[in-house]
Amino acid sequence: MTADRTDPEVPTPYGVVRGRWEHGVAVFRGIPYAAPPFGPRRFRPPVPPDPWDGVRDAGAFGPTAPKPPYSPAFARYLSDPDIPGDDCLNLNVWTPDPAPAARLPVLVWLHGGALTRGSSAVPVYDGHSFARDGVVLVSLNYRLGIEGYGLFPDAPANAGLRDQIAALEWVRESIAAFGGDPGLVTLAGQSAGAISAGALLAAPRARGLFRRAVLQSGAPEATERAKVRRIVRRMANRLKIPATAEAFAAVDRALLLRVQGEVGRLSSPVLGGPAFGIVVDDDVLPRDPLDALVAGDAAPGTDLLLGWTRDEYRLWLVPGGLLQRVDRLGAVALAGARARCRCGHDVPRGYRALHPDAGTAEIVGQMITDHLLRVPLHRLADARAGTSYVYEFAWPSNLPDLGACHALELGFVFDSGDLPDARRLAGEGAPRSLAEAMHTAWVRFAATGDPGWEAWDASHPVRIFDGAGSPHTVRGLRDREVALSGSGGGRRSRLRA
Residue 320 pLDDT: 83
Q: Which CATH architecture has domain 9-221+283-486?
A: 3-Layer(aba) Sandwich (3.40)
**Does position 396 have pLDDT exceeding 50, yes or no?**
yes
Residue 488 pLDDT: 53
**Average of per-residue pLDDT across 138-155:** 98
Count Cβ atoms below 10 Å from residue 25 Cβ, excluding itself.
23
Catalytic residue among 191, 217, 388, 416: 191
Residue 494 pLDDT: 42
CB 425, CB 405: distance < 8 Å: yes
Residue 1 pLDDT: 41
Least confident of 168-177, 258-267, 411-420, 461-470: 258-267
Residue 492 pLDDT: 44
Q: What is the mean pLDDT of the chain?
A: 94
Residue 63 pLDDT: 98
Q: What is this structure's pTM? A: 0.96
pLDDT higher at 272 or 364: 364
Res. 4 pLDDT band, cuts 50 70 90: low
Catalytic residue among 371, 406, 439, 460: 406
Residue 57 pLDDT: 98
**Does position 262 have pLDDT exceeding 60, yes or no?**
yes
**Does position 173 have pLDDT exceeding 70, yes or no?**
yes
Who's near 208: CB < 8 A, 6+ residues apart?
Answer: none
Output phi, psi for 283, to 5 deg: -115, -65
Res. 271 pLDDT band, cuts 50 70 90: low
| Cross-sheet strand order for the sheet of 15-18 | 9-12, 15-18, 55-57
Model pLDDT for residues 5-18, shown as the tens digit of each residue: 899 999 999 999 99
- Torsion, Cα of 307, 438, 384, 291 (10° steps): 30
Res. 270 pLDDT band, cuts 50 70 90: low
Does the annotation count 191 as an active-site position?
yes
Res. 338 pLDDT band, cuts 50 70 90: confident
**Average of per-residue pLDDT across 453-461:** 98
Catalytic residue among 312, 362, 392, 409: 312
What residue ranges do the domains of the chain occupy?
Answer: 9-221+283-486
**Does position 497 have pLDDT exceeding 90, yes or no?**
no
Count Cβ atoms below 10 Å from residue 58 Cβ, excluding itself.
27
Cα separations in angstroms, 293 against 203, 343, 379, 479, 493: 10, 25, 10, 21, 18
**Average of per-residue pLDDT across 150-158:** 97
**Does position 495 have pLDDT exceeding 70, yes or no?**
no
Rounded CA gap, 62 and 85, in Å? 8
Model pLDDT for residues 471-491, shown as the tens digit of each residue: 999 999 999 999 998 865 444
